[in-house]
Structure 1
C-alpha cells in the first residue's frame, strides 16, 4: 500500500472512529455535548467527506487527503482549547447547549440537560474527552500530512 493510500484510508477511518465514539457516548452513554463539543465535530464531518471524495476522485486524492488531515488537526486544535477551558487554564465561553425535538419547545427546554463547556463530564487517566480528541486528532492529522507530503525514495 502506498503512503497516499495509507493516508487516505487513515483520513477516513480516524474521524469516523472519533465520531462513532462521540455519538456513541452521547446517544448510548448519555453524555450530552456542550457547544464546544459540537464545534469539534464539524471538522471531523468535513474530513470524512473529504476523505470519501479522495477515494472517488483519484486525480485529486492527494490534495483532498491533505485537506482532510488539516480538518482533523482543526478539530484537535478546538479540542485543545476546550480542554484548556475545562481545566481552567484559560477563560472560555459561557454558552451551554441542549437537546430537544419533541415539537413542544417549552417542554424540550425544560427537560433538556444543561451542559457547561467548562466542566469535565468524563475523563480517562485525568484527560477529558476534549483532551483525548486533541491528542488523537493532532497526532493523527500530523501523521496523515506526513504520509501525504513525504517524498518516495
Structure 2
C-alpha cells in the first residue's frame, strides 16, 4: 500500500512540477507539453486506487505503469518534434494557414484565443543543460517506471 501511495505521489509530481514551472518561471507550455501531463494524472489515480483496493493492486499497478510509459512515449515524440525529426500532427503546434484570398480579419479569427508556444521550440529549464523539458519528462517517465517495476519484482508489491 505504501508503495502505491508513493507511486501515486511520484506520478502526480510530474504535472505539478510542470505547472509550477509555468507559474514560477513564466514558461509557456505547448500543446504536446499539455498532452504529456494527462497520463500522469491517470497513473496517479490508478495507483491511488491500487492503494485502496488490495485485491486489484497488481493490475492497477501495471495499468499505472503503462500510463507513465504513455507519457514517456509522448515526451519521446515531443523530443523528435523539437529536434526537427518529424512535424507535430497537432493543430495547436502549427502556424495557422490561410486560403489564398484570406483577409487580415480571417487570419485574426483563425488564431487561437490565447497565444501558444510552438511545439518545435524546446524549453530548457536548467541553463547550460542541453535537456529540454520534454527530454527531462522522458527521462523521468523511464526512471519512474523502472523504479516501480523494480518494486514490483522485489515483491514489495507497491
TM-score of the pair, normalised by structure 2: 0.76
C-alpha distance in 2 between matches for 1:71 and 1:133: 13
Alignment of 1:120-135 (within 5 A): 120-124=122-126, 125-135=129-139
After superposition, the C-alpha distances for 1:14-71 in whole angstroms (9 at most, x for unaligned) are 2121111111112332222211111111100101110110111111112111211111
Q: Is the 8 A contact 1:50 1:67 kept in 2?
A: yes
C-alpha distance in 1 between matches for 2:2 and 2:141: 19
The corresponding residue for 2:88 is: 92
**Structure 2 counterpart of 1:23, from 16, 19, 23:** 19
> 4+ runs of 1 displaced by more than 3 Å?
149-152
Seen in structure 2, the aligned counterparts of structure 1 residues 20 and 135 have a Cα distance that, compared at 3 Å, is same
Gapped runs of 5+ residues in structure 2? 94-108
C-alpha distance in 1 between matches for 2:92 and 2:16: 22
SS of 1:96's partner is: helix
Count of aligned pairs: 138
Alpha-carbon offset, residue 150 of structure 1: 4.5
The corresponding residue for 1:141 is: 145
Alignment of 1:16-95 (within 5 A): 16-93=12-89, 95=91
Structure whose residues are more often strand by fraction: 1
Give the alignment's Cα RMSD to 1 decimal.
Answer: 2.3
SS of 2:87's partner is: coil
Alpha-carbon offset, residue 115 of structure 1: 0.9
TM-score of the pair, normalised by structure 1: 0.78
